[in-house]
């Protein structure tokens, strides 16, 4: 993302909307400026701000007059008065930032918007997570902190050492140079993204082990982690196996997404066991 200095009037509205806090008013240039190392190319500034397309010179003059009189015009806080944000053409490896940060862009590898897969959201059709299995989504960088691929690799390698299989269709798995070891390709390790999700599936008896591995890695990385755990309910719609495990580990299960099972299975539905890879 770029901010056109000929258009920017340094109103400062955009400095608040950046999820990474990467936009600031440069005191020398007197223009909004993006810290490109921290920018994750999420396009929240470009997509979220309304645009006015006012003449920059007029706006700057009015602002100067008001400032001299110690008067501050209070505009709507989510508006760029001159439409100064301009997407630039992203090249490799920077382009992976946008793939993992801008939800409007379907990831090339999965074809769906966002950073993960359908996980248990379509489990009624795919049968991806079966009885006595747990599908983990381990998301780094959320909420609003961000992460770099070398931190993600720390987690993926630890999980690989435990012999778990990674979700084949997850965008992160596509970026592994060695899936067996959880190694991510070297040229993107320093790239920053809003968040990334590692997806694995394990037998229910390994659920506690996975949680302990994740907690161990959390000590070594400088970001936040959110864990999601997808389970298949029994015929009565109950989960009497997995929830007690997490509660015993000290988790309070406040929120969940619940698949209602209304999806129709079609003849060409994918077989569930094919979706995980570890080599």
Partner 1 sequence: MTNTLHRFGDAESFHDDFIVFAMACKDGTGKYLGPDPLPDLKKFLQMALEFKPVNIGDPRHGGAIRPSRSMNPLAHWKRDNAPDFQAVIDGLTVVTTCAAVFDNVDAAEKFLAKVRAADLGLSVNISTSVDGADQCCHFAGIPRHSVGYSLGFEGKTEKIPNTQVTMLSTMCGHGMISHSLAKKMIDFVKENRRTPAAAAAVLSRFCSCGVFNPARAKRILEEARLHTE
272 interacts with partner 1 by CB under 8 A: no
Among 119, 173, 175, 182, which residue interacts with partner 1 (rule: CB under 8 A)?
A: 119
Provide the pairing of β-strand 85-86 with 2-3: antiparallel
Q: Does 198 bind partner 1 (CB under 8 A)?
A: no
In whole angstroms, how close is the CB of 42 to partner 1 at the nearest point? 7
205 Cβ neighbours under 8 A, 6+ residues apart? none
Nearer to partner 1, 73 or 187 (CB): 73
- Cβ 215 vs Cβ 159: under 8 Å: no
Q: Is 145 in the site for partner 1 (CB under 8 A)?
A: yes
CA pseudo-torsion sign 105, 111, 116, 120? positive
CB 210 within 8 A of CB 136: yes
Cβ count near 226 (within 10 Å): 13
The token pair at 123 is 């489990």
Q: How many residues bind partner 1 (CB under 8 A)?
A: 97
Number of alpha carbons in the 13 Å side-chain half-sphere of residue 124: 10
Residue from the set 7, 8, 9, 19 that interacts with partner 1 by CB under 8 A: 19
Phi first, then psi, for residue 151 (nearest 5°) are -75, -40
Per CB under 8 A, 129 contacts partner 1 = yes
Cα distance between residue 274 and residue 270, in whole Å: 8
Residue among 90 and 241 whose Cβ is closer to partner 1: 241
Interface residue with partner 1, options 37, 38, 86, 113 (CB under 8 A) = 113
CB of 128 to partner 1, least distance (A): 9
Residues 25-54 touching partner 1, rule: CB under 8 A, are 42, 44, 47-54
176 close to 144: Cβ distance less than 8 angstroms = no
Q: Which is nearer to partner 1, 75 or 163 (CB)?
A: 75
For residue 152, what are its two tokens?
């993600």
Q: Dig out the tokens for 193 from the structure.
A: 């993204």
Residue from 5, 118, 241, 278 in contact with partner 1 (CB under 8 A): 118
Which residues ranging from 171 to 190 are in contact with partner 1 (CB under 8 A)?
none
One of 137, 153, 156, 173 touching partner 1 (CB under 8 A): 137
82 near partner 1, rule: CB under 8 A:
no
**CB of residue 69 to partner 1, shortest distance in Å:** 19
Indicate the residue among 64 and 104 with the shorter CB distance to partner 1.
104
Of 132 and 177, CB closest to partner 1: 132
64: tokens are 């100067």
**80 and 51 Cβ atoms separated by less than 8 Å:** yes
Q: Does 74 bind partner 1 (CB under 8 A)?
A: yes
* Closer residue to partner 1, CB minimum distance, 27 or 237: 237
């Amino acid at each position: 993302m770029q901010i056109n200095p000929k258009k920017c009037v340094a109103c400062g509205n955009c400095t608040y909307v950046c999820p990474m806090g990467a936009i600031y008013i440069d005191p020398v240039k007197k223009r909004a400026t993006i810290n490109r190392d921290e920018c994750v190319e999420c396009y929240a500034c470009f997509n979220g701000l309304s645009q006015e397309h006012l003449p920059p010179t007029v706006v700057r003059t009015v602002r100067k007059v008001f400032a001299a009189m110690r008067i501050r015009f209070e505009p709507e806080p989510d508006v760029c008065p001159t439409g100064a944000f301009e997407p630039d053409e992203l090249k490799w490896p920077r382009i992976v930032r946008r793939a993992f940060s801008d939800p409007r862009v379907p990831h090339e590898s999965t074809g769906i918007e966002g950073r993960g897969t359908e996980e248990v959201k379509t489990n009624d059709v795919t049968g991806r997570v079966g009885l006595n299995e747990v599908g983990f989504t381990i998301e780094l960088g959320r909420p609003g902190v961000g992460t770099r691929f070398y931190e993600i690799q720390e987690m993926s390698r630890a999980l690989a050492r435990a012999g778990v299989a990674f979700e084949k269709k997850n965008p992160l798995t596509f970026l592994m140079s060695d899936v067996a070891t959880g190694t991510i390709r070297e040229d993107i390790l320093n790239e920053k993204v809003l968040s990334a999700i590692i997806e694995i599936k394990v037998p229910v008896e390994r659920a506690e082990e996975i949680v302990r591995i994740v907690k161990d890695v959390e000590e070594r990385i400088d970001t936040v982690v959110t864990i999601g755990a997808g389970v298949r309910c029994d015929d009565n719609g109950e989960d009497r196996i997995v929830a007690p495990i997490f509660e015993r580990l000290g988790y309070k299960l406040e929120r969940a997404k619940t698949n209602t099972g209304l999806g129709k299975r079609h003849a060409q539905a994918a077989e569930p066991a094919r979706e995980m890879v570890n080599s």
